[in-house]
Amino acid sequence: MGKPTATIAAAAIIVTLAVLAGVSANDPDMLQDVCVADLNSTIKVNGFPCKTQFNSSDFFSDILAKPGNTNNTQGSLVTGANVLRIPGLNTLGVSLSRIDYAPGGLNPPHTHPRATEIAFVLYGELEVGFITTANVLVSKIIRPGEIFVFPRGLVHFQKNNGRGPASVIVAFDSQLPGTQSIAATLFGATPPLPDNVLSTAFQIGRKDVKKIKAKFAPKK
């Protein structure tokens, strides 16, 4: 009876740890009505310290009301409505962004390390998708009024293949989901990744690595 009991106890511990890990993976639960972020505080915590005085403006923004300027190399612009723009979001575990796309515009492959994303199409038509850890592409064409979900941490993209502009509103289960654009992260890091690492990883010559790095070099 000792071994089965020990096995059950070990399994229970593993399950408990898995549940606790899942809970701690999300933004921490709030312990008071509000904790409006003090963005000027020098105190470093997991999130932002609460400021003592706040008002309705801390919970308001019209930043997503107008389309963003998509006149750039990617033909897209992400406008974030997160805790950095709306201090009242601190500890609430949610945020929004608006993404605008010119015809042919691309929100390049990227990840959000701290959040799952759900996108709602305002107008236009987009090809969207994510890639699983088994390298399976899950993609679909989405149109106005339709929704698509990008699981937390997985590489994903959105591409406007239409002749007109497109726009989506996306929601995150984090006040500050974070974004890592794959190409910019690898070829534009500071200090830079060694050329031989990128050359081997992408199976390209070091001259090609240098050319790509030049495109992503931080602007001075």
- The residue-averaged pLDDT of 90-101 equals 96
Domain regions of the chain by residue span = 56-179, 188-216
**pLDDT (tens digit, 9 = 90+) per residue, 104-156?**
999 999 999 999 999 999 999 999 999 999 999 999 999 999 999 999 999 99
pLDDT confidence of residue 29: 73
Residue 5 — very low, low, confident or very high, per pLDDT cuts 50/70/90?
low
At 126, which amino acid appears?
L
Q: Which CATH class is domain 56-179?
A: mainly beta
Q: What DSSP assignment string belongs to 18-79?
A: HHHHHHHTSPPPPSSS---B-TT----BSB-PBPS---GGGG---TTSS-----SSSSEEEE
Mean of per-residue pLDDT scores for the chain:
90
How far apart are the C-alpha atoms of 205 and 194, rounded to whole Å?
Answer: 13
User: What value, to the nearest 5°, has the Cα angle with vertex 64 and ends 62 and 65?
Assistant: 70
> Could you give phi then psi for residue 208, rounded to 5 degrees?
-65, -40
Regarding predicted confidence, which is higher, 15 or 120?
120
The answer to whether 16 and 23 are in contact (CB under 8 A) is no
| 8 Å CB contact between 159 and 127 | yes
| pTM for this prediction | 0.84
Q: Between the CA atoms of 144, 149, 130 and 145, what dihedral angle is there, to the nearest 10 degrees?
A: 0
Among candidate residues 86, 103, 106, 104, the one with its CA nearest the CA of residue 94: 86
Residues 6 or more apart whose Cβ sits within 8 Å of residue 104: 75, 160, 161
